[in-house]
Amino acid sequence: MKYMKYRVIKKTRSEIENWSELCINKQLISNCMNTQQNMEDRLWDYIDGAAGAEEKSAIEKLIDTNQEWKRTYHKLLEVHQSINSSDLEMPSMRFTKNVMEEIAKYHVAPATSSYINKKIIWGVAGFFLVMILGFLIYSFGQINWANNHSADIISPNLNKLNWGKFFNNTYTNIFIMVNVVLGLMLLDMYLHRKKEQLKKNF
């Protein structure tokens, strides 16, 4: 029994030691990788010409004095030059002709800003803003601020809210009806346009 306990303790100790060793190694690897990453980032900035004058001279010094920096710089420079030397892909010889034949069927569409009336967008945004603000003001007006129980602040007053009063209101019904009619008109316009497009295509 005693031996068993000893084995467990020994095993746990060795696990802890391995784990701490692993942590130290991981930390070292991570530090090393960060340093490498930092070096490459700085070198890429230098190669791209994005480094400032001070940074530039500091990197030049490092490249001259440090072998690791020098080796990495030459590797990255090689990649940079290779990408620069690569060619663009070319489409077929008829490409421009094909595009021009295709666009001959179309006209330039009017600029979006010319047919989208900004007043309408602002009107819609204003409408929703007023609705939200109205609802918030009404809700806050219903809160019993004197009550300390946070759970009871809103719920009793919201329960008193007579939703039927709003939805049985004549104005609300008219508003909903107008929206339904507008929706149907939009749907009709959309279907009509689709039909016209189909006619044009065939």
The binding site for other proteins (CB under 8 A) comprises 40-41, 44, 50, 75-76, 78-80, 82-92, 95-96, 98-100, 102-104, 106-114
Interatomic CA distance for residues 169 and 156, integer angstroms: 24
Q: Name which of 64 and 87 has its Cβ closer to other proteins.
A: 87
Mind spelling out the 3-state secondary structure of 89-138?
CCCCCCHHHHHHHHHCCCCCCCCHHHHCCHHHHHHHHHHHHHHHHHHHHH
Helix (H) or strand (E) holding 23: helix 2-48
Q: Name which of 40 and 60 has its Cβ closer to other proteins.
A: 40
**Residue in this structure with the two tokens 């942590």, named with its chain if needed:** 23
Least distance to other proteins, CB of residue 8, Å: 42
Least distance to other proteins, CB of residue 51, Å: 12
Q: Name which of 95 and 122 has its Cβ closer to other proteins.
A: 95
Least distance to other proteins, CB of residue 185, Å: 27
Q: Name which of 54 and 87 has its Cβ closer to other proteins.
A: 87
Interatomic CA distance for residues 143 and 147, integer angstroms: 9
Least distance to other proteins, CB of residue 129, Å: 27
